[in-house]
Amino acid sequence: MGPLHGVKVIEFAALGPCPMAAMILADLGAEVVRIERKPAPGAKPASDLFDPKIDILNRSRRVVTLDLKKPEGLAAARALVAKADILVEGYRPGVMERLGVGPDESLAANPKLVYGRMTGWGQSGPLAHSAGHDINYLSLSGALHAIGEPGGKPVVPLNLVADCGGGAMLLVVGVLAALTEARTSGQGQVVDAAMTDGSALLMTMMYTLKAMGQWSSERGSNLLDGGAPFYDTYRCADGKYISIGPIEPQFYALFLEKTGITDPDFKLQWDRTRWPELKTRLATHLETRTRAEWCELLEGSDACVAPVLSMDEAPEHPHNRARGTFIELDGVIQPAPAPRFSRSVPAHPHPPVVGSTGEDVLTDWGFTPEAIADLRQAGAI
């Protein structure tokens, strides 16, 4: 059983980081029930971006489909929330209040409830009610400006920073911190997780370097943004890439030794005026062998070198295979739960549930057969 065994979570189905946060909680052993809103007859899906049968973000939880516009469906949702330890939702500010399951109603019925709210801009501020996506929230934090080649435009780092790191991960941190506090105080609270705040927090190290005078606003000119010749990716003879990161002097010396670089200019590791020139020369040197040849020579040593793998290649790498970093569920390759636990090991994830009304969930959460029949007759499930 995972470390969150016994924790009951209600997730109001949404897009973006909220499903990822719920997936992480479920991966760690919490019982997560996703409330999906029953679509109107003939209604088109809100998004055709994801196939629900293989939407990995929805793994390891059960589903209840409710028509929240019907009094019976709303009452059922409120009853589920009243039995939960944590609620997570990812709508714009005010949507949950208009549905009738906002923090005031929910905490009045369940004083220990941790009410996790995931938005881009936060619950307050001039942009709180505006639409946006990961790239917009990332822009506001200073992070997007810092990523890219010298003289080039900012480069989008997938949606890893705002949606996943600054959003989902910090929502999980927030609700688990509030849950710990609630078990002492007996009082729940609202967790306002904003992707703008989270993205800014993830930039703490860079803001530290900036305060020390060691970070320039010019993209691609700094230690950790590809400006340093010893911290970047390089093309190999076969068109594939390796990443190198031997920052420490002993690792850098080993890198030079193993790659056969004897030019004394490369010993001037921290002479920033030489970095552009040394990057060009190093790129030429590393393009003399294939990625496999460089990995055979360097991978596994303290030279700090790794292959830049595609999503097809990553699950097959020997290290990932040895650790079980990727798993397969119903033919879908996907990342395994993380982190690992020595004692309270979570159960193996199960594929997403599709097309369930959730009557079995309602039974498990204390609804009587008569109450479920009433919901069915009212068209609320």
Does 232 participate in catalysis according to the annotation?
A: no
> Cα angle at 33 between 27 and 37, to 5 degrees?
130
Does 163 participate in catalysis according to the annotation?
A: yes
Task: Please state the three-class secondary structure of 154-222 as a single string.
Answer: CCCCCCHHHHHHHHHHHHHHHHHHHHHHHHHHCCCEEEEEEHHHHHHHHCHHHHHHHHCCCCCCCCCCC
CA distance 90 to 123: 11
CB neighbours (10 Å) of residue 366? 11
* Close Cβ partners of 62 (under 8 Å, ≥ 6 residues apart): 32, 33, 34, 353, 356, 358, 360, 361
Q: How many residues does the chain have?
A: 381
Task: Walk across the sheet containing 241-244 and list its strands.
Answer: 232-235, 241-244, 305-307
Angle subtended by helix axes 170-185 and 17-27, to nearest 10: 60
Exactly one of 163, 197, 225, 232 is catalytic; name it.
Answer: 163
- Extended strands (E) in 277-361: 305-307, 326-329, 332-335
Backbone angles phi, psi at 8, to 5 degrees: -110, 130
List residues with catalytic annotation. Answer: 133, 163
